[in-house]
Amino acid sequence: MDMKRVGPAPLSRESAERLLDLLSSDDGFRARFKADAGAALVEVGYAPDDNALTAALCLQLKTSDQLASKTQISRDRAKLQENLNSVVGFMLAVEFVEQ
């Protein structure tokens, strides 16, 4: 069975660290992230691939959503870092993918 990678390009460790640095300290970046996660991710060094799925789709907040406080992000940084670096996509049997 052939497998096809499905999902966004992963954030590098450095991009994830920079993202958490800015989300826990920079109000301007937090506003940019809430408005446009994709542009904010590029700002921290994320390089989306040609896949239509990007990390921004997973991280984009709805306008009614609240971003965790800087204190909460700082407090839970290790857990957030682990989550950002652990999910890097999954493989899906080609038979289940529309051609």
Structure confidence at residue 63 (pLDDT):
84
CA pair distance 14, 44, nearest whole angstrom: 8
Rounded to the nearest 5°, which phi and psi values hold at 82?
-60, -45
Q: Which residues of the chain have pLDDT under 70?
A: 1-9, 49-54, 86-99
Structure confidence at residue 62 (pLDDT):
85
- Helices and strands: H and E segment counts in the chain: 6, 2
Q: Which tokens hold the place of 52?
A: 């239509």
User: 44 lies in which domain range?
Assistant: 3-96
Tally the residues of the chain.
99
Q: Which tokens hold the place of 15?
A: 């991009």
Tell me the one-letter amino acid at 73: I
Q: How many domains does the chain have?
A: 1
